[in-house]
Amino acid sequence: MNSGARLTGLRDGLARLRGREIEVKTSGELDVMRAAGAVVARTLAAVTAAARPGVSTADLDELAEQCIRDAGAIPSFYGYLGYPASICASVNEQIVHGIPSATQVLADGDLISIDCGAIVDGWHGDAAVTVEVGSVTDADRALSAACRDALQGGIAAVRVDARLTDISAAVQQAAVEAAGRDGARYGIVAEYGGHGIGSSMHMEPFLPNLGPPGRGPRLRPGMVLAIEPMLTAGAPRTTELADGWTVVAADGSRAVHWEHSVAVTEDGPWVLTELPAK
């Protein structure tokens, strides 16, 4: 791993925690966020099912926008800081913020990470999945599973009175354990991480995906965090493309991204962006 980049990203993220208020939601506001999260979950399910060889990422974006608007919600991403689409579609070495394009056509064996957000009555939901297109390699499948394990490890660390970076440490530990289990090298991306979410899509605090536990603010009921680990199959160093959005693995290795919006409650973590129970 590139320890210099990792530590710089961690220091910068922790610096942004100091002296900032974290939005605390009422139970009613959390219910609306759950509605937004359900829209995101259903949209991601539809886009996942549609992600097949021969389909373009622009096709997926059109489907996602239709799903969100048909639910009476607003796409969070469209127009955000000038972003031109309703999802981020990041293929293979692209880690995050890939812009959908009619010329980006999926092929058998691709990995695509799809990030999606929706707004209901002014409240946001945000989640991401990595989709295997056709038949992928065992190594790609293991990489995605490792990232999902890291997400689940982070979610399990969400509890009242925990420190923010207890989540970071849990994400890192799960990723490291997965790498050991798989006999692989996984890069934990440090420059990008999770964030608070609620009445805006990106809010305090910044949530690093690695680092020591026991730092940052204590978690309180009503806080909501978007937990989103990103792993590469090589080094963690990143590069931003000339479009000003797409972030890729600098060494060209495959990359994956999983995310959920998670509320802190007295009863433990409440994942707001899961598919509704049938």
Residue 276 lies in a domain: no
Residue 78 lies in a domain: yes
Residue 254 lies in a domain: no
Q: Which two tokens stand for residue 102?
A: 């009619």
Per-residue pLDDT of the chain (278 residues; tens, 9 = 90+): 223 333 444 445 444 544 458 999 999 999 999 999 999 999 999 999 999 999 999 999 999 999 999 999 999 999 999 999 999 999 999 999 999 999 999 999 999 999 999 999 999 999 999 999 999 999 999 999 999 999 999 999 999 999 999 999 999 999 999 999 999 999 999 999 999 999 999 999 999 999 999 999 999 999 999 999 999 999 999 999 999 999 999 999 999 999 999 999 999 999 999 997 76
Looking at residue 35, the DSSP 8-state letter turns out to be H
Residue 255 lies in a domain: no
Helix, strand, or coil here: 148?
A: helix
Nearest to 210 by CA among 21, 2, 18: 2
Q: How many Å from the N-terminal Cα to the C-terminal Cα in the chain? A: 42
Residue 251 lies in a domain: no
pLDDT at 20: 59
Helix, strand, or coil here: 247?
A: strand
Q: Which two tokens stand for residue 112?
A: 């695509």
Domains in the chain: how many in total?
1
Omega of the bond prior to 205 within 30 degrees of 0, cis?
yes
Q: Using an 8 Å Cβ cutoff, are 187 and 235 in contact?
A: yes
Which residues constitute the domain of residue 94? 3-221+233-244+261-271
Nearest to 164 by CA among 211, 96, 117: 211
Q: Using an 8 Å Cβ cutoff, are 154 and 171 in contact?
A: yes
Residue 160 lies in a domain: yes
Q: Using an 8 Å Cβ cutoff, are 77 and 88 in contact?
A: yes
What CATH number has the domain bearing residue 100?
3.90.230.10
pLDDT at 3: 30
pLDDT at 276: 79
